[in-house]
Structure 1
Amino acid sequence: MRLVFLSILFIFFSGYCFVANAANITDSTVLENMEEELNKQPLKTYQFLMTQAEQLDDMSADYKSWWLLRKAQAENLLYFFNRFEQTVQQTLAAVSQQSPPKVLINLDIFRGMILQRKGRYRLSESILKKAKQAALKNKFTYLAVLAKQELAFTKSLTQVYQTSLTELQQAYLEAFALHDNFLLAKINEVYGAIYGYMDDYGKSIEYYQKALASYQQLGYPNHQAEAIFGLASTYRYWKKYGLAIEYYQRYKEIINFSPNNTDAKFYAAYGIAMSEAEQGNCRQALPSIEYAIKLEGLIDYKAELYKRKSQCLLAFGKLDEAENR
């Protein structure tokens, strides 16, 4: 066994002190109780975790599984989605049926989220159902509610809205019984997304605002950002472009909690540019479109930006420039 890194590192989170040294890579208590700090300060918590990266081979099996899980969770909160997926795969390779049930259930929720983002909804539903059943079997109500709200969101992406709302209502009642404001906020956020998909924009805004208010009270930056982005997108689809731009600007500011967050920066710029173009404000939209195009982003979204740019150039009578786009 290689030499263990023995130095002691103190990292302070809102008055709370973690001590990272060789002695604690077998006791996973700190990691098990890290949920609040992850949500409040994902970057600092991630930095703390990474101080132990070189000790991975020396960790006990349970500590290693919790460490990898928390690393994945931090990466997801920081929008490091490629790293998140890689760490989830690494965790899958490290766990066994003897691993802590909470780790295995959380891992399945993460797997469901990854598949959901890739559009593999049927497989996502299957894994999230597995997570829900395991949580119920072990009487982990908190995790069961998390799985249920992700399951409801996944179903809504396939336009199975009534089933999604039924699943979500059950989750809401359970979260209410737990007096868990975070779970209630997560559920309100999913309600906001579902009603947006159903074109009931007024209700969508109402639920997103409820979620945002709770996240602000809790002090969770990632979740605030997600709710703000939901509001911006809903206002854009509702054709309330002034409000859409206002919330995209707020999103652009709040995502600064995560450095080198290229995905979120692109979506903020894309949202602003598209809202200005759809509003018919081409004079403002053209520089916004140029800025968004220069950022790293998805090809399909950039194609929409180029299309809007051509339309704006045509509106200014710049036919030659439009034809060259």
Structure 2
Amino acid sequence: MDAIIGSGTGPATDRTADTLASVGEFGVIAQITRDLVMSPQVSVGPGDDAAVFLVDGSAVTSTDLLVEGVHFRTDWSSAEEIGRKAVAVNVADLEAMGATPVSMVIGLGAPGSLPAQWVREFSTGVRMEADRAGICLVGGDTTGAREITICVTVIGQTEGRAPVLRSGARTGQVLAVKGRLGWAAAGLSVLERGFRSPRAAVDSQRVPRVPYGAGREAARAGATAMLDVSDGLLADLGHIADASRVVIDLDSARFEIDEPVRAVAAATGRDALGLVLAGGEDHALAACFEVGSVPDGWQVLGRVRDPEAEEGPTVLVDGKHWEGSAGWDHYRRG
């Protein structure tokens, strides 16, 4: 951590009135890393130029950016919730590869006027979610920025298993999902209208409920393709369809739409199934299995078949192309 957050000279007497500029870069780093517990695999944690740790099998890594105003709003989410979300959305990528989480590094950019208490609460959220996910923070970086910007890089291990890719779906398999669908989209729809209920949906938008451990469970059960649902089920399954050169045909009758999603759809005039199919940020896991090998707790939602010559690899709903939005695109905003 070698960049400057501010030109501070040390902590102020009133901690609630501190800003990052008054605390200074090294004071901020000390607050983030204080009393971190390292796993036995980590031999060098925060405090040196780089962290050192062991992995069992191949290393698996992924990174995500979270930008204020794009991925979160400070008037919608607390610092603790944002810290939890930053960890969850990244570890979900390791789960989607069937990997076991090991360590992570976090880059934080923020304006010097940001209260230092915000960083303390953010750090609390990071630690809370890291404990749930089974991963430890081993380092990172800080810098000044106009908006709060968070970059998390996670590292996992395969433990002798092959990683589960998007390209392994095969004709005749079933598509199954574990985790929530549509809850975060319902929560976003509520927040955009200035409301805070149903609370379950709003909380799901603020902090995704990643099914930790389910990715490894799927890998052990023989999943041949998998990903986490971040941009919408249809959009994300399109990646498996394209990579595997298959058609994924979803059966709408198999979807169990949860009550908070139904309630928001009814209140806002939106289609409940559309929220489930196109809503992102739940970070459920979707995987392809041979018939009869789907683990308990996974919900079968469709099947995998060969593409017809005129349609090519695609995702269908009840044998037809979905006419609504397929999901989120950061550069198209829809």
Same fold (TM over 0.5): no
Q: Which has the higher contact order (CA 8 A, sep 6+)?
A: 2
Q: Is the strand fraction higher in 1 or 2?
A: 2
| Superposition TM-score, scaled by structure 2 size | 0.22
| Superposition TM-score, scaled by structure 1 size | 0.22
Q: Is the helix fraction higher in 1 or 2?
A: 1
